[in-house]
Amino acid sequence: MQSELAIVWIYPDLLSTYGDQGNALVLEQRARARGIATRTVHVRSSDPVPRDGHVYLIGGGEDRPQILGAERLRKDGGLHQAIDRGAALLAVCAGYQIMGSVFGGEEGQPVPGIELLDISSGRGERRSVGELAAEVDPALGLPMLTGFENHMGVTRLGPGVRPLSRTLVGTGNGDGTEGCYAGRVIGTYLHGPALARNPALADLLLSWVVGPLPQIDDSWYQRLRDERLAAVLPR
């Protein structure tokens, strides 16, 4: 890695519906707390996606911006090159669906994705809105996943990915799992600042590109997690 950690936020002009900026802010803060300098790049959808970033983020959005975002990412090709070079990616909600082979458009019509993850998505019967809690794949060694979902998507996972977690509360992919991962790419329906509620996930993304990280003071993160999980998990 060079001297600065480059965080690349893809298309905030299209895909930043609600608090997606939080993921970038949490990564910056957690890198900074370890003495790692960061540089965050906001890539407008009219501009090329840089190939040399370290952690990439893409957020949620409405149907039409999602379709536009997918078209532009496909034409651009930069994200694929960055991932091939070893960058990490967190793709959220609409951004998660874009990473697959196909997703549902405004009228449920199939729209091609960019095929970075072996998943395919469509529109479900009803909107899933609310708190989500899920047990993360033990192979990743992370604590419980907590967050908020707001989507109508149903996502089928192919053999090329592993489920990120098994849901205890909430809908996620729609089959009892939530999100998925493959290599250094993580997708999730947890919209907005998923990393604020899951700092260990933020550290996982960081450690993939900078190596092992020392512990930092997590007390505010932990208090919020405890409160949210206590509010939704059956006692």
Partner 1 sequence: MSQLPLRAQLASALGRTAATLSRATGRGDGSVIGGRVGLMLEPDLLRKLAADRTLVLVSATNGKTTTTRLIASALQELGGVATNAFGANMPAGHVSALSSAKDAPFGVLEVDEKYLPEVLDTTNAGLVCLMNLSRDQMDRAAEIWLLAQKWRRALDGKPAHVIANCDDPLVTWGASTAARVTWVAAGQRWREDSWCCPECGGPLDRAGSASLGQGTGAPPSADSSWACRECTFHRPEPNWVLDGEDVIDPRGTRWRLDLQLPGQANRANAAMAMATAEAIGVEPGRSLSRLRTVTSVAGRYTTVERDGRSLRLLLSKNPAGWLEAFDVADPTLPIILSVNAQGPDGRDTSWLWDVDYRILRGRPVYVTGERRLDLALRLAVADVPFQLCESFDHAVTALPPGRIDVIANYTAFQQIRAEFNRAV
Considering only residues 33 through 52, tell me which ones interact with partner 1, judged by CB under 8 A: 42, 44-46
The residue (of 85 and 223) whose beta carbon lies closer to partner 1 is 223
127 labelled binding-site residue: yes
The Cα–Cα gap between 91 and 44 comes to 16
Q: Which of 5, 7, 16, 145 binds partner 1 (CB under 8 A)?
A: 16
Nearest-CA neighbor of 163 among 141, 188, 184? Answer: 188
Across the chain, where does the E strand assignment appear? 5-10, 38-43, 55-58, 88-92, 102-104, 110-112, 119-136, 145-157, 162-169, 177-182, 185-188
- Identify whether the C-beta of residue 128 lies closer than 8 Å to the C-beta of residue 147: no
Per CB under 8 A, 227 contacts partner 1? yes
Q: Which of 6, 17, 111, 178 binds partner 1 (CB under 8 A)?
A: 17
**Under rule CB under 8 A, residue 188 binds partner 1:** no
> From CA 37, how far away is CA 30, in angstroms rounded?
10
Chain residues that interact with partner 1, rule: CB under 8 A: 9, 12-14, 16-22, 25-26, 29, 42, 44-46, 62-65, 68, 129-130, 148, 150, 191-193, 196, 220-221, 223-224, 227
Annotated binding site: 127
